[in-house]
Chains A and B, each alone.
Chain A
């Protein structure tokens, strides 16, 4: 039993390493080919986990081989666009200038219902609002709405754009997050002072995030009623 346990732990860590090395973070990133590789890797790993008659190398070697093939194909796809077209396919336009492309939909086995599903997932409930819908090679649908239905942006409305800086996590469950402090060039005492100025103690903070304008968004923990507040450093 200990052998089974240790084999499972080893192969789990090994598969984790291989999947991290492939560089894909989530299933939606995967091309059909990558998804297939992931499934085969999982199957190979499970075989050696369950059967102690099989040496671990019987799973490790094929998994490494698949990883190497995947890396070679990824490099070829990057360097040669014909290879990329062959392996990954090309994006297909499903709606062109508001017109459903029946022929392409037939060729890609994409039904009108599938398309309507994808549109609804992007909060579009009327095909008439769509100028272009493109079926990407990873199976997602990208949509460009007709100009009349697009949301105006700040530039079009002549509004002050504001900063587009990222927000950083500063406090989590009463503990100051070092990475956030370093990114925002703050000291622990600066955060404590900010909180103190608003009558708050660090230990009572469940979550705090600071945005690019220096505004701190704070949520207190349950014992303090999960109160939410925002304030700046002034």
Chain B
């Protein structure tokens, strides 16, 4: 009887834990990628207009954002993906500071692609399910 109660309690706790895991990481990732996507767009627009000064704060902010969220993101995302995103933002930041527009745009494009890949894997979609 005692074990049955323990098992039932554990099963309920496991269900709650799983529901939390279904909701919380998706919300964190959505929030992060919305913010990152916005800043990538702003930085890209500035760089395409040849304005590295305007792009610099966005690139720095992207790097900062990733560094800040990294410990949380790595709890539920593949560490290699998060590292690769961080590396892309670091390259973009350094390239903007060195006024290398091509390298910065390339790094931001790669970061966007990594971000899309992470979203594709982590956020629920029927495509992923199959």
When C-beta atoms are compared, the residue in chain B nearest to A61 turns out to be B21
Q: Is the Cβ of A53 less than 8 Å from the Cβ of B18?
A: no
Q: Is the Cβ of B75 less than 8 Å from the Cβ of A55?
A: yes
Majority DSSP secondary structure for residues of B touching A: helix
**B3 cross-chain contacts in A, Cβ below 8 A:** 23
Q: Is the Cβ of A55 less than 8 Å from the Cβ of B76?
A: yes
A71 to B7 alpha-carbon distance, docked (Å):
10
Using a Cβ–Cβ cut-off of 8 Å, how many residues does chain A contribute to the interface with B? 15
The distance from the CB of B116 to the nearest CB of chain A, in whole angstroms, is 20
Q: Is the Cβ of A53 less than 8 Å from the Cβ of B21?
A: no
Query: Any chain B CB within 8 A of the CB of A21?
Result: yes
**A54 cross-chain contacts in B, Cβ below 8 A:** 78-79
Q: A61-B18, A64-B14, A64-B18 are in contact. Are A55 and B7 (CB under 8 A)?
A: no
Which of A23, A57, A71 meets B75, CB within 8 Å? A57
**A58 cross-chain contacts in B, Cβ below 8 A:** 78
A54 to B75 alpha-carbon distance, docked (Å):
9
Query: Any chain A CB within 8 A of the CB of B103?
Result: no
**B74 cross-chain contacts in A, Cβ below 8 A:** 55
When C-beta atoms are compared, the residue in chain B nearest to A56 turns out to be B75
Which of A52, A57, A61, A68 meets B15, CB within 8 Å? A68
Query: Any chain A CB within 8 A of the CB of B113?
Result: no
Query: Any chain B CB within 8 A of the CB of A65?
Result: yes
Using a Cβ–Cβ cut-off of 8 Å, how many residues does chain B contribute to the interface with A? 16
**B78 cross-chain contacts in A, Cβ below 8 A:** 53-55, 58
Interface positions of B from 77 to 112, Cβ below 8 Å from A: 77-80
Number of A-B contacts (CB under 8 A): 35
A55 to B78 alpha-carbon distance, docked (Å):
6
Query: Any chain A CB within 8 A of the CB of B11?
Result: yes
The distance from the CB of B105 to the nearest CB of chain A, in whole angstroms, is 28
The distance from the CB of A64 to the nearest CB of chain B, in whole angstroms, is 5
A68 to B17 alpha-carbon distance, docked (Å):
12
Query: Any chain A CB within 8 A of the CB of B48?
Result: no
The distance from the CB of A48 to the nearest CB of chain B, in whole angstroms, is 11
Interface positions of B from 42 to 89, Cβ below 8 Å from A: 74-80
The distance from the CB of B89 to the nearest CB of chain A, in whole angstroms, is 19
Query: Any chain A CB within 8 A of the CB of B34?
Result: no
Which of B11, B21, B75, B76 meets A68, CB within 8 Å? B11
**A57 cross-chain contacts in B, Cβ below 8 A:** 21, 75-76
A61 to B18 alpha-carbon distance, docked (Å):
7
When C-beta atoms are compared, the residue in chain A nearest to B74 turns out to be A55
Q: A57-B21, A61-B21 are in contact. Are A68 and B79 (CB under 8 A)?
A: no
- Known pairs A23-B7, A57-B75, A67-B11. 10 more at Cβ < 8 A? A21-B7, A53-B80, A55-B75, A55-B77, A55-B79, A57-B21, A61-B21, A64-B17, A68-B11, A68-B18
A-B residue pairs, 10 tightest by C-beta: A53-B79, A53-B80, A64-B14, A57-B76, A21-B7, A55-B76, A21-B10, A55-B75, A64-B18, A71-B11
18 A-B pairs with C-beta separation under 8 A: A21-B10, A23-B3, A52-B79, A53-B78, A53-B79, A54-B78, A55-B75, A55-B76, A55-B77, A55-B79, A57-B75, A57-B76, A58-B78, A64-B14, A64-B17, A68-B14, A68-B18, A71-B11
